[in-house]
């Protein structure tokens, strides 16, 4: 998990995940608050790094931060569901918009930077892979939105929905590759990957709000 000036939420986060994990890996991106002290008080080892050292380039660091954010947000969602489930809907919208914008930013930057950087990083024999990467990276914003929604679906007890979505995505991905890759080469595989993530997001976003409404109706009589 990545931390950065997280003193307000860190102790609650540690308390939530401590009973269900065997090992915690913390990378602190230069916190100047009490984050380090809280980690030490809980006997959690951590590594301090500068933000731009999290990866070989800023895009990799942003992807890492995006994925870590969804993991770190899970205990916060859980607490909202227990204490104030009206805050969950606002949090889903905020996190989804934030991560979608982050993903779009990474994808657009990668589209322009990849032809300049990847030939040197991968070698000339992999030049055809540059175009594939420039397409596949546009799956990222939809993948991040799906991650937010699936976390919340899991916390609301809709594990079977998440499993069904994964199965549907795998089936469509395999069928698409079997049918279209022989006709249009490996470029078809990149497009299929993006379309599957778009479909994934299109399914999980409405499902998470349906699950939220059902969860709220069940909670209302108990709270009253």
pLDDT of residue 53: 43
Give the integer Cα–Cα distance in Å for 74 and 157. Answer: 13
pLDDT of residue 35: 85
CB atoms within 10 A of CB 15: 12
pLDDT of residue 68: 64
The model's pTM: 0.66
pLDDT of residue 57: 45
Residues constituting the chain: 224
Ranges of residues in the chain whose predicted pLDDT is under 70:
1, 21, 29-30, 48-72, 74, 80, 84-85, 121-128, 219-224
Beta strands in the chain (DSSP E): 2-3, 26-28, 46-48
pLDDT of residue 224: 45
């Amino acid at each position: 998990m990545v931390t950065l000036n997280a003193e307000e939420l860190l102790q609650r986060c540690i308390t939530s995940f401590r009973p269900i994990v065997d090992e915690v890996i913390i990378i602190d991106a230069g916190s100047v608050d009490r984050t380090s002290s809280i980690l030490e008080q809980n006997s959690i080892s951590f590594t301090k790094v500068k933000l731009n050292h999290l990866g070989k380039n800023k895009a990799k660091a942003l992807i890492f931060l995006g994925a870590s954010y969804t993991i770190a947000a899970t205990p916060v969602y859980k607490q909202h569901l227990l204490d104030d489930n009206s805050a969950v809907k606002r949090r889903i919208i905020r996190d989804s918009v934030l991560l979608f914008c982050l993903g779009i930013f990474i994808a657009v930057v990668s589209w322009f930077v990849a032809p300049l950087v990847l030939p040197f990083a991968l070698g000339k024999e992999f030049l055809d892979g540059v175009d594939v990467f420039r397409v596949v990276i546009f799956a990222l914003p939809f993948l991040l939105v799906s991650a937010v929604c699936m976390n919340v679906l899991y916390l609301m007890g809709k594990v079977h929905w998440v499993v069904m979505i994964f199965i549907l995505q795998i089936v469509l991905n395999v069928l698409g590759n079997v049918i279209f890759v022989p006709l249009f080469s490996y470029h078809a595989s990149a497009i299929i990957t993006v379309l599957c993530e778009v479909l994934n997001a299109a399914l999980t976003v409405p499902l998470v709000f349906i699950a939220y409404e059902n969860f709220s109706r069940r909670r209302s009589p108990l709270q009253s």
